[in-house]
Amino acid sequence: MKFRFMTKRIILLFSMFVFLSNVKAQGKAEIALETFSQKYPQEKIHLVFNKNSYIAGENLWFKSFIFDGYNLSSISTSMFVELYDSNKMQISKEIVPLLNGQGSGSFTLSESLKEGIYYIRAYTTWMSNFSEDFQALRQIVIYNPSSTEKLVLDETSKWTASVFPESGTLINGINTKCAVRLQSKGITPSEWNGYIIDAAKPDVKLSSFKGFDQNVGIFSLTPKTGVKYQVVLSDSRGNKQVVDLPYVADSGVNLQVSTDNDAIKFSLKSKNITPGTVYKVIGTIGSQMVFKVASDKILEKTYSIPAEQLINGILQLTVFDEKESIIARRLTFVQPGLLKIKKPEIQSMKLDESPRALNSLTITPEQNNNAYTVMILDGSAENPEDENSFLSTLWLTGDITSKIDKPAQYFIPSRNNEALDALLISETWKRFDWRTIMSDRFPLISYRPQPYISYKGKVSIQGMPASNTELNLMFEIPEYGSKLLQVKTDDKGFFTLKGLLFEDAIKFSYQLNDPKIPAEQVQVIFQPDYSFVPLKKSLPESYYTLVQRHTEEQLSETVKRYVATKNTQSNIDEKAILIEEVKLKAKKKDLTKELNERLSSPLFKSMNEAIFDFVNDNNSANGYMNILQWLQGRVPGLTIESSRGSSIPRYRGSTINVYLDEMLLDPSQINTIPVSDIAMVKVIKGYFSGGFGGGYGAIAIYTKRGGTTGSLSDFAASTKLKKSILHGFDKEISFVSPDYNDQNFSKISQDSRTTLYWNPYIEAETKDQTGIQFFNNDDAKNFKLIIMGFDTKEYVPIYFNESIK
């Protein structure tokens, strides 16, 4: 499978931090890595919810960011989201459209859900070709006071520990850092310590250390062959573990790494190695090679990789011998003390902690950021970003499959960089395995990304395939009339509709283009050209356990508040009869978006389109005789070529069609259309459903007098035809907040909302500042403001997660 969109991406990343030293001819490793990088890009997903836990009967909202390495992904245009209970029973599922690598949706949590731990799984079709361990699988707590059992934190499960020497080996006489990693089904202790002993002399402490956090600690040891070393660990509650260290080898190579803001330095320490042996070290970030050295003098030097030439992320250093066998490897983080994070520019902040007071702020747009996600919480509420944050998914957990407690802590201002380095000593890279790809064993591609939603149809006449037959599809779209689309079947009677972009369901009628064939003899069967992929692996263990609820037992303060909030939200929803009116009070009306909604039918909508508005902005086009000439140079990838007096539009080298009021038109006829008669032009990039079976790209021109010319004004023509329904993306539930300036909300008796504002997609590519307004609840004295975005040119997250007063 070829990824046209990947070529520029790879060149940009490689030129951004390539640093090759003493490069020789490519070996198996380099060739395998290049193949893997070009053909098998890998996506990862960050999920953020509107809050940490829920009560049965509430709505759950989520936002997703899909990354291809360290940039927002352009591979997938759809995301699958599934809700499971703790028994791996699927409760609900949705398909969500992705715009510039971002998507959002919601689930309604049934009143009948029992109290317990539930799981939300998110993945793309392309991700299904790789390990399920890299799919997003998040635990959520759902309370239900009517359940016979209640959730309590599991503080009784024992913890275990493992020791990981740096680069994997202990070698006689070589001082080596060793990471100690804790794991538990329940909660691991945050306060613990340990000491090292010779098992033959258990009363003599060789050295002592203290754990950094609930995940990891570190110590150094100069081992001797023949000695059995152990580490004795204990926590603040008196629990104790004794762990054996790996045996000590009398020869070998040990890779030692140190990282700071200026450089990553490494050296190879050896014992009893034949002089003149050639070793090769390859450094990779993701699946990109950023460093290489091969030399017979490598054991004598310390190498330094300039950090400013790299981006933040996990760097994997792998040592190969002359036969390209792996003898050592190590993960480290690039510039842990200098995280490249852009903060959004927040202005005009007006905060009032009074009950139900109006608060406001504005965000200045970033040039290379398409959209912001904004969430505002009661300052006393749990923060959904405290456990696993946008930053920790991008830089750590999206590529690490093992369980890490509170990974967000490694990317906060008060982070411990030494703890992160120790954590990475205990990890190995799982995105690809060197031995596997060097043996030409690459992932089996069973699932290919489809543009948005695609359907495959089969036409039959009296049960026999209708080969090479033209079929008329008449889509019934109340806002636009009926839209006629013509497709042609293949030799077996099949056809495909690609790039469908609509919510809920759309009705359509059909008939063959041949009037001689009676309609009753024709049958069209549709099936989605996409599928939810069953989850094979087991669900992860939870920090919680279920215990019997006593009849007279009082609810916790958290659950009491959730019950009150659910009742409050029900009242708010009832008051907000016209939800869109409530939304429009909080944001500026977008006239261009309104024009696009009015003129474009759903068949000519795409999440990858460039719109030019000639009603609200003249766009300086009146001096042009041909609108195609005006488009030249205004859309990246679009070129207009001249041939025999006609203008031929091409997108990224491929010829694309031109439509006038959604009717196919020869480009030569554009010369007859005065620019002054044009209301809107849109350039659709990629597949869309109106292009005769899913065309790849188009220029759609809408005239001021034509509107949606080519559409029928009523459904009369289709009443006698056979009808069917296609299902589109799942519709997201609107997040409704009260407007206490409106008297309709004045009778709400109690407001205990924890999420005061939620907007998963605020467009940022505007000249104007984005204004945000929200009303306080009854008791919040400060607020937590979370803003997320991404600079797609500098590969830098835009992130703000702070308490504000």
Give all strands of the β-sheet with 263-271 in edge-to-edge order: 252-259, 263-271, 302-306
pLDDT score for 4 = 28
pLDDT of residue 521: 82
CATH architecture of structural domain 173-250? Sandwich (2.60)
| Alpha helices (runs of H) in 18-125, residue ranges in sequence order | 28-39
Which residues have a Cβ under 8 Å from the Cβ of 229 and sit 6 or more positions away? 170, 196, 197, 198, 199, 206, 221, 223, 244, 245, 248
Q: What is the rounded distance in angstroms from the CA atom of residue 296 to the CA atom of residue 276?
A: 5
Q: Give the least confident one: 64-73, 265-274, 554-563.
A: 554-563
Q: What is the pLDDT of residues 783-794, one digit of tens each?
A: 999 999 999 888
pLDDT for 73 equals 95
| C-alpha dihedral sign at 675, 678, 684, 690 | negative
For residues 565-585, give the mean pLDDT: 65
- Same topology, domains 173-250 and 453-528? Answer is yes
Dihedral angle at the C-alpha atoms of 315, 27, 433, 2, nearest 10 degrees?
90
Report the pLDDT averaged over residues 423-439: 96
| pLDDT higher than threshold 90 for residue 501 | no
* Burial tier of 396 (Cβ tally within 10 Å: 0-12, 13-18, 19+): buried
Q: Distance (Å, rounded) from C-alpha 678 to C-alpha 244? A: 77
Cα separation, 188 vs 162, in Å, equals 13
Map out the domains of the chain as residue ranges.
Answer: 173-250, 453-528, 591-710
Lowest mean pLDDT among 21-25, 684-688, 759-763: 21-25
Contact status, residue 459 vs residue 465, Cβ threshold 8 Å: yes
Contact partners, residue 799, CB within 8 Å, separation at least 6:
341, 342, 343, 390, 391, 787, 788, 789
Q: What is the dihedral of CA 454, 460, 466, 472, to 10 degrees?
A: -60
Return left, alpha or beta for 697; rule: phi > 0 is left, psi -120 to 50 is alpha, else beta. Answer: left
How many Å is the maximal CA-CA distance in the chain?
98
Distinct helix (H) and strand (E) counts, the chain: 9, 50
Confidence band of 576 (pLDDT split at 50, 70, 90): low
Cβ proximity of 151 and 143 under 8 Å? yes
pLDDT tens digit sequence for 350-382: 999 999 999 999 998 888 888 899 999 999 999
From the list 176, 109, 175, the residue with the least C-alpha distance to 140 is 109
- Contact indicator for 199, 230 with CB cutoff of 8 Å: yes
pLDDT at 708: 41
| CATH 2.60.40 assigned to 453-528 | yes
pLDDT above 60 for 405 = yes
Write down the pTM of the prediction. Answer: 0.84
Distance in angstroms (rounded) separating the CA atoms of residues 499 and 449: 11
User: Which of 21-25, 123-127, 340-344, 377-381 is predicted with the least confidence, judged by mean pLDDT?
Assistant: 21-25
Euclidean distance between CA atoms 654 and 657, whole angstroms: 10
pLDDT for residue 68: 95
CB neighbours of residue 750 within 10 Å: 13
CA–CA separation, 157 vs 168, rounded Å? 29
Q: What is the pLDDT of residues 323-347, one digit of tens each?
A: 999 999 999 999 999 999 999 999 8
Q: In what order do the strands lie in the sheet with 279-285?
A: 288-295, 279-285, 314-320, 326-333
**pLDDT at residue number 276:** 84
Determine which of 83-97, 128-142, 179-193, 693-707 has the lowest per-residue pLDDT on average: 693-707
The model's confidence at residue 644, banded by pLDDT at 50, 70 and 90, is low
Mean pLDDT of 601-630: 81
The pLDDT value recorded for residue 766 is: 58
Q: What is the dihedral of CA 66, 68, 72, 78, to 10 degrees?
A: -40
Beta-strand pair 544-548/149-153: antiparallel
Confidence of residue 317 (pLDDT cuts 50, 70, 90): very high
* Enclosing H/E stretch for 369: none
**pLDDT, tens digit, for every residue of 48-67?**
999 999 999 999 999 999 99
How far apart CA 699 and CA 728 sit, in angstroms, is 24
Q: How confident is the model at residue 716 (pLDDT cuts 50, 70, 90)?
A: very low
Decide which of 3.20.20.70, 1.10.260.40, 2.170.130.10, 3.30.830.10 is the CATH code for 591-710: 2.170.130.10
Span of 86-95, 235-244, 366-375, 714-723 with lowest mean pLDDT:
714-723
More confident residue, 465 or 716: 465
Band of the pLDDT at 573, cuts 50, 70, 90?
Answer: confident
High-pLDDT (> 70) share of the chain, %: 90
Report the mean per-residue pLDDT for the chain. Answer: 87
pLDDT digits (tens, 9 = 90+) for 439-486: 999 999 999 888 888 888 898 888 888 899 988 888 776 555 667 788
Rg of the chain on CA atoms, in Å:
30
- 423 Cβ contact list (under 8 Å, min separation 6): 179, 181, 215, 216, 404, 410
Say if CB 233 and CB 194 are below 8 A apart: yes
Strand (E) or helix (H) holding 532: none
Place of tokens 């809920």: 504
pLDDT per residue as tens digits for the range 8-19 = 333 233 333 344
Q: CB of 791 within 8 A of CB of 366?
A: yes
Q: What is the pLDDT of residue 486?
A: 83
At 181, give phi and psi (nearest 5°). -115, 125
The size of the chain, in residues, is 805
